[in-house]
Each structure stands twice: as C-alpha cells, then as structure tokens.
C-alpha cells in the first residue's frame, strides 16, 4: 500500500534532486515546481543571521511563490544553509 493516498501529488518548490529522491523513496510522489526567487535578496532583507532561521525563511518563501500560482495544491518548501 502506498504511503501517499491523496490523488494529487504535492508540488516541491525545490530543484534538489536529493530531496525529490528522499520523498519518492518514502513513497510520496512529488511534482517538481522550482520557485524562481532571489534567495540572496531575501537573506539580505532578513532580520536574522541564524542559519536555521534563514533556511526556514527561504523554504517558506519558495512555498509561497509556488502556492500563489497553484491555489488549492499542497506545496512543500525546503531549504538548507551551511555555516
């Protein structure tokens, strides 16, 4: 029995092949819809320099960018930063 039981696959607001493979291997089908955002500009406007906070902010902005184009669809945003 597949893990994902909803008819529509979620959209991944990410270009990461590793993330897509992790979701697929976990039994979650995913449609790729990379967000076209200016990550550096978002980082510069952020009022934090904490790597975890920046990653969460970027993930949220990616998901928002795709969700505005696809209302009613589940959108997954993710990001990571290196220290």
* Average of per-residue pLDDT values in the chain: 89
* Cβ–Cβ < 8 Å for 44, 30: no
Q: How many CA atoms lie within 13 A of 29 on its CB side?
A: 8
Q: Quick check: 52 pLDDT over 90?
A: yes
- If phi over 0 gives left and psi between -120 and 50 gives alpha, with beta otherwise, what is residue 45? alpha
- Selecting among 38, 47, 53, 79, the annotated active-site residue is 79
Residue 41: pLDDT band (50, 70, 90) is very high
Q: Quick check: 73 pLDDT over 70?
A: yes
Query: Is 36 an annotated catalytic residue?
Result: no
Considering the entire predicted model, what is its pTM? 0.83
């Amino acid at each position: 029995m597949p893990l994902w039981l909803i008819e529509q696959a979620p959209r991944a607001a990410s270009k990461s092949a590793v993330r897509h493979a992790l979701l697929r291997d976990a039994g979650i089908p995913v449609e790729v819809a990379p967000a076209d955002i200016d990550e550096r500009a978002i980082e510069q406007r952020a009022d934090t320099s904490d790597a975890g906070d920046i990653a969460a902010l970027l993930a949220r902005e990616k998901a928002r960018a795709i969700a505005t184009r696809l209302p009613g669809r589940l959108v997954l945003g993710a990001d990571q930063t290196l220290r």
